[in-house]
Amino acid sequence: AQSVTQPDIHITVSEGASLELRCNYSYGATPYLFWYVQSPGQGLQLLLKYFSGDTLVQGIKGFEAEFKRSQSSFNLRKPSVHWSDAAEYFCAVGAWGWYGGSQGNLIFGKGTKLSVKP
Amino acid sequence: NAGVTQTPKFQVLKTGQSMTLQCAQDMNHEYMSWYRQDPGMGLRLIHYSVGAGITDQGEVPNGYNVSRSTTEDFPLRLLSAAPSQTSVYFCASAGDSNTEAFFGQGTRLTVV
Cβ-Cβ contacts under 8 Å, A42 against chain B: 105-106
**Contact B42/A42, CB-based, under 8 Å?**
no
Q: What is the DSSP string of B8-45?
A: -SEEEE-TT--EEEEEEESS--SEEEEEEEETTTEEEE
**Contact A46/B100, CB-based, under 8 Å?**
yes
Q: Which residues contact A17 (CB under 8 A, 6 or more apart)?
A: A80, A81
Tell me the shortest Cα–Cα distance from B25 to chain A, in angstroms: 14
**Among candidates A43, A97, A102 on the partner chain, residue whose Cβ is nearest the Cβ of B104:** A43
- Exposed, middle or buried: residue B28 (CB in 10 Å: 0-12, 13-18, 19+)? exposed
Strands A112-117 and A10-14: parallel
Whose CA is closest to B19, among B67, B69, B80, B72?
B80
Q: Does B94 touch chain A (CB under 8 A)?
A: yes
pLDDT on residue A100 = 54
> Which residues does chain B have with pLDDT short of 50?
none
CA distance B56 to B63: 14
Whose CA is closest to B23, among B42, B2, B47, B7?
B7
CA distance A91 to A74: 8
CA distance B84 to B104: 22
CA atoms within 13 A on the CB side of A97: 25
CA distance B83 to B14: 8
Instruction: State the average pLDDT over residues A1-29.
Output: 92
pLDDT in tens, A24-42: 998 767 788 999 999 988 8
CA distance A78 to A65: 9
**Contact A44/B94, CB-based, under 8 Å?**
no
**Contact A102/B103, CB-based, under 8 Å?**
no
pLDDT on residue A2 = 80
Whose CA is closest to B12, among B105, B104, B83, B91?
B83
Whose CA is closest to B102, among A49, A69, A109?
A49
pLDDT in tens, B69-87: 999 999 999 999 999 999 9
Indicate whether A62 pLDDT > 70: yes
Cβ-Cβ contacts under 8 Å, A43 against chain B: 90, 103-106
Strands B107-111 and B10-13: parallel
pLDDT on residue A102 = 57
Confidence of residue A51 (pLDDT cuts 50, 70, 90): confident
pLDDT on residue A105 = 78
Cβ atoms of residues A107 and A4 within 8 Å = yes
CA distance B17 to B81: 5
